[in-house]
Amino acid sequence: MAMLIVMDAEPRYTVSEITRLIKTTLEDSFYSVLIQGEISDFKRHSSGHFYFTLKDQHAQLSAVMWRGKNMRLYFTPQDGMKVLAKGRITVFEKSGRYQLDVDTLQPLGIGELQIAFEQLKARLRDEGLFDESRKKPVPVFPETVGIVTSPTGAAIRDIVSIINRRFPGVQLILRPVKVQAEGAAEEIAQAIDEFNEYGAVDVLIVGRGGGSLEDLWPFNEESTARAISRSKIPVISAVGHEIDFTIADFVADLRAPTPSAAAELVVPDAAQEWEKIIQRLRRLYRITTDKFNFLNEKIQLLKSSRALQMPLDLIKQSSLQLDMLSGKLEMSYQNHIKNRIEYLNQLENRINALNPEAVLKRGFSITYRSKDNTIVKESSQLTSGDGVILKFFKGEASGRIEQVN
């Protein structure tokens, strides 16, 4: 029996073919879409690409934002953040999954720039870049002021005008930079570093006039904050209006609410300083005059005293007193000499009384033993036949011992 084969009228596809068809259909149909959702499973790959999931209460969608696009973000996406993503649907053929290829990402509820501002502010504060202990004192009388701002803005005109009016003679050095748009932050940071390499600057003013948050954004970027932080030269931030606060304000050594205020803070008012000097000189003159008058009164009192009015009497009295003291001294000296003479006479009499010749003079004699010429004090020192010498006050006699008792 013959077999009947019925051909299927529906087309057949391989997995690759159907996947490619789906890819073409989806990517052509959803080339540019806005999708609102909540970020979850956010991952920053080592390549710099962002991978995350957008979800709502009932579904979820994989998403990717390539490095070249996410580098333009002013904030870091976080899990739980509600965002509005713009991009196109793409299909990854190998896994057969579709995902959102994100071109732009915007937070919902709070502005993108404000989120970036708060994130960087918190991170730098935690690092200690805002600590008061890091602040360098701003010199009171700077000789050279460096300025980092636009060469064509109102800020530089105000700064130069005010400084020249307040304290003429201060040297001003402008390093022109862009103060808004792409690349401005890098120029500002480079200018601060160049001033530090140059070195011959006492203080820096870094800033610009007012503008929108976007216009002021270069002063909220990390590169600017890091340059201010590492500057060895004191930095005064002068960005926008009084109500504007930037990251640069928190890192700087001194914040000025406006560029004009920075010019007033960086140098003193010469007229006021001169007035202070005049006041001090007047006070010194008054103190000196009072002291002179006081001493002059003392001199007048001394001049009117009896001692100075009768100097001869004072000299005579002093001369008389000197004569009296001289007489006492002479008398005291004579008495001393007399006492010493008497003492010497007494000492001489004592010595004469102890002289052996004085004893001999009174009829005594001294006996010496002939053989050794020693004085005989006792008879036991002699024996019969010993020769002796008898010494008298005048003359001597010799003999021999016949008997010793």
112 vs 26: CA distance, rounded Å: 30
Is the distance from CB of 146 to CB of 203 less than 8 angstroms? yes
- Percentage of the chain surpassing pLDDT 90? 39
Q: For the whole model, what pTM was predicted?
A: 0.53
Task: Give the lowest-confidence range in 50-64, 94-108, 325-339.
Answer: 325-339
Question: What pLDDT band is residue 253 in, cutting at 50, 70 and 90?
Answer: very high
Tens digits of residue pLDDT in 302-341 = 777 666 666 666 677 777 787 788 778 888 878 888 888 8
Among 35, 74, 25, 78, residue whose Cα is nearest residue 56: 35
Report the candidate in 121, 137, 132 with the shortest Cα–Cα distance to residue 246.
121
Which of 105-109, 220-224, 339-343, 380-384 has the largest mean confidence?
220-224
Question: Is the pLDDT confidence value at 2 over 60?
Answer: no
Listed in sequence order, the residues at least 6 apart from 172 whose beta carbon sits closer than 8 Å to its beta carbon are 144, 145, 147, 159, 160, 163
CA dist., res. 293 & res. 287, Å (int): 10
Sheet holding 374-375, edge to edge: 374-375, 366-369, 387-391, 396-400
- Confidence grade of residue 260 (pLDDT, cut at 50, 70, 90): very high
Distance CA 272, CA 39 (A): 60
Residue 69 one-letter amino acid: K
Q: What is the pLDDT of residue 1?
A: 47
Rounded CA-CA distance 260/161 in Å is 9
Instruction: Write down all domains in the chain, each with its CATH number in brackets.
Output: 15-109 (2.40.50.140), 140-268 (3.40.50.960), 358-400 (no CATH)
Phi and psi dihedrals of 385, rounded to 5?
95, -10
Q: How confident is the model at residue 22 (pLDDT cuts 50, 70, 90)?
A: confident
Taking residues 223-249, what's their average pLDDT?
A: 94
